[in-house]
Amino acid sequence: MTVSPVTGGGSVLITGAAGFIGFHLAQRLLALGDEVIGLDNLNSYYDVALKHERLRLLKTHTRFSFVQCDITDREGVQRIFEAHRPATVVNLAAQAGVRYSLENPAAYIQSNIVGFANILETCRKLEVEHLLYASSSSVYGGNTKVPFEETDPVDHPVSLYAATKRSNELMADTYAHLYGLPSTGLRFFTVYGPYGRPDMAYFAFATRYFAGKAIHVFNDGDAENDLSRDFTYVDDVIESIVRLMPILPRGPRPHEIFNIGGSTPAKLSVFVSTLEDALSASLGREVEFKKVYEGMKPGDVRATYANANRLESLIGYKPQTTLRVGLQAFTNWYVHYREVHGAESDPNEVTSG
């Protein structure tokens, strides 16, 4: 069995490896010398061509292997685990998106509840050393106390997506209690960056600009009560995960949860103007979005804001990339990607994740 440079154990299995965060994590682990098994169902929630492009880049590494499988396929998941015997599992596969959960709730129950149960049970059976899994800042719901801390009550989610993510935390905690399965929950705060998700606001706004369409801003144009988000650059997220991977939760209930956020929320209006500036710099011409202002949508929250003290105290690091630097990296990538691969479909924007 190949020893993992990061965990000191065997190989690392990443579910959702063709997704945004999964792709970046796999790239980082491969660069560090790890053996990585990628699992993904390649669904069509957004442009599958982008997922295939991520996979194409990952497959250039000899230490990467890919298996197409849906985590809702219990027997298929077990066969993959038995074949590869991963020491560490990072579960990033999930049905994403707050607003889409209003349209297709069944997809969230299947992927985020049934699928995660399959991951937990397979990790238990095969005695995986450490399970890390994606949660979300959405679990904080309409909490008004900021910044959000891991000890805050999270009993009133405002979307089904958030409810499924909170369910994941409770399920993992139960498996830690009953079976001693070491698991770490990762509450991501609006992750953005190159090769990102086309349904997220920063990506969707850029797409609509090139299509000559207006962007939809869900704050009624109210600068006084503007929405705000704790945008977190993807490289900071990956650094946090990599540092957490070798740290096993201890004790009779080996389960911990961490906020993965930069603790520097930005108002939506500032985010939009910063993205305009970044696109202007990437294109060498002035960019100004056409804007249509609308009210908040069901499932949206007014603000997200991470307290990352727990994360920093354990790993000596917390997300630190500024919004201006991160959005410039995204637009530089986006302009180049669009030139090479052409325009993508027009997605629905979201403002949180």
Annotated catalytic residues are: 161
HSE-CB of 75 using CA atoms within 13 angstroms: 0
Q: Are 20 and 232 in contact (CB under 8 A)?
A: no
Instruction: Give the pair of three-digit tokens for residue 135.
Output: 């949660």
| CA pair distance 155, 164, nearest whole angstrom | 12
Instruction: Give the pair of three-digit tokens for residue 341.
Output: 């691969």
| CA pair distance 132, 123, nearest whole angstrom | 11
Residue for token pair 């979005």: 289
| CA pair distance 181, 110, nearest whole angstrom | 22
Q: Are 152 and 109 in contact (CB under 8 A)?
A: no
**Residue 25 carries which side chain, given as an amino acid letter?**
L
Residues 6+ apart with CB under 8 A from 83: none
Q: Are 19 and 200 in contact (CB under 8 A)?
A: no
How many Cβ atoms from other residues are within 10 Å of residue 123's Cβ? 27
What is the three-class DSSP state of 142? coil
- Phi and psi of 165, rounded to 5°? -70, -40
H helix runs in 109-159, sequence order: 116-125
How many Cβ atoms from other residues are within 10 Å of residue 158's Cβ? 17
What dihedral angle (degrees, nearest 10) is formed by the CA atoms of 4, 14, 153, 248?
-20
List residues bridging with 229 in a β-sheet. Answer: 266
